[in-house]
Amino acid sequence: MSPAQTLDKPPVTPANSQKYDVNENYEGEYRFAPIEESQVSRAMIRRYFNTMYERAISDVVIVGAGSAGLSCAYQLASTRPELKITIIEASVAPGGGAWLGGQLMTPMVIRKPADRFLREIGVEYEDEGPFVVVKHAALFTSTLLSRVLAMPNVVLMNATAVEDLMVHEDFQGKQRVAGVVTNWTLVALNHDTQSCMDPNTITAPVIISATGHDGPMGAFSAKRLVSTGLLKELGNMRGLDMNRAEPAIVNGTREVVPGLILTGMELSEHDGSNRMGPTFGAMIGSGVKAAHEAIRILDS
Ligand code: 48N
């Protein structure tokens, strides 16, 4: 049989699908339905590259899938299900710094009123009065990630880095961020080991950057604003002060240049606000506020 003939031949027709079932006690032989390796490859390739084609023009791009970026994605996608939201995450594993509570300890502290978001996404916690504690940071992050990925209007491209911003001039000659320049992260991190490996682009009227304050590409967009002259200099994150840091970041979440909203710890590097250490309420509040800022821009 020529390979083409195996292209979409379904290995199991409904009539004989019972042959590949196994009883609840797993008694008897466990047999998989037959498959061609090429069908596995084509099942992935078709979907991934159709998505890349379709999301080359998105409504909103969120850079960074840490606690701020994911909180923003959840709020935006649930509030405006018609928006095409594309999340670009440099790591293979999304979640950023929110898999642990702090210094490798697992419980996650979230100060009120950010606990409201936990009830919204269905994460249990212990109430300690002014703050709550989620038993494991991964419970928060995995729940939030699963809610975001279940939304039909959200696409996550992980292991993909934003390695530049698209900047256009509007009709008044004002510079506006109009999209992102992307590459697979391993390529983006190895430009100096090879000749230039050209990137890809995603065009969108609103970019929300949530690339954190540390890591190989921390505060990426804020730093790019400086190197492209759209920002005179970074404010640089200040020392730890929980009571100053968290409200400053939530209340400071905004469109810093036309078309670009900064959220989460990246904003502390842009503005020079304090860091808060191992408490995550501001990441949630800033992410949610960034979603409302994006809607304001899109509706204006
Ligand atoms: O978790 P992070 O680093 O960033 P946030 O702002 O979502 O949350 C920050 C929070 O975890 C803290 O730092 C806590 C509250 N500590 C405060 C303190 O005082 O220390 O997530 C950023 C994500 C990561 O997953 C990166 O891999 C990703 O952004 N990223 C990128 N993705 C795509 N393209 C890039 N250029 C890029 N740069 C970073």
Residue 288: which of 53, 131, 71 has the closest Cα?
71
- The protein residue whose alpha carbon is closest to atom 3 in ligand 1 is 212
> Number of structural domains, the chain?
1
pLDDT of residue 14: 52
Distance in Å, CA 94 to ligand 1 centroid: 10
Q: How many CB atoms lie within 10 A of CB 172?
A: 6
Q: Tell me the C-alpha to C-alpha distance, in Å, between residue 169 and each of 108, 162, 172, 178, 259.
A: 43, 20, 7, 9, 11
Give percent of the chain above pLDDT 90. Answer: 83
Q: Is residue 3 part of a domain?
A: no
pLDDT of residue 191: 84
Distance in Å, CA 42 to ligand 1 centroid: 33
Distance separating alpha carbons of residues 183 and 189, to the nearest angstrom: 9
Q: Is residue 254 part of a domain?
A: yes
DSSP 3-state helix, strand, coil percentages of the chain (rounded to 5)? 40, 20, 40
- Our mutation pick for probing the ligand 1 site, out of 89, 165, 211, counting the most ligand atoms within 8 A of Cβ, is 211
Q: Is residue 222 part of a domain?
A: yes
Q: What is the pLDDT of residues 93-130, one digit of tens each?
A: 999 999 999 999 999 999 999 999 999 999 999 999 99
Q: Is residue 94 part of a domain?
A: yes
Give the domain extent around 202.
59-299
Q: Is residue 267 part of a domain?
A: yes
CATH of the domain at 125: 3.50.50.60
Q: Count CA within 13 A, CB hemisphere, residue 19.
A: 9
Does 166 carry a binding-site annotation?
no
Does 90 carry a binding-site annotation?
yes
pLDDT of residue 64: 98
Q: Is residue 48 part of a domain?
A: no
Sequence-distant contacts of 17-23: CB under 8 A, at least 24 apart: none
- Our mutation pick for probing the ligand 1 site, out of 213, 221, 276, 284, counting the most ligand atoms within 8 A of Cβ, is 213
pLDDT of residue 278: 98
Alpha carbon 204 to its chain centroid, in Å, reads 15
User: What are the pocket residues of ligand 1 if the criterion is a CB atom closer than 6 Å to any ligand atom?
Assistant: 63-69, 88-91, 96-98, 161-162, 210-213, 215, 217, 220, 240, 264-266, 275-277, 280, 283
pLDDT of residue 15: 55
Atom of ligand 1 nearest to the CA of 95: 25
Q: Is residue 166 part of a domain?
A: yes
Stretches where the chain sits below pLDDT 50 are 5-7, 12
Q: Is residue 82 part of a domain?
A: yes
Does 218 carry a binding-site annotation?
no
pLDDT of residue 195: 76
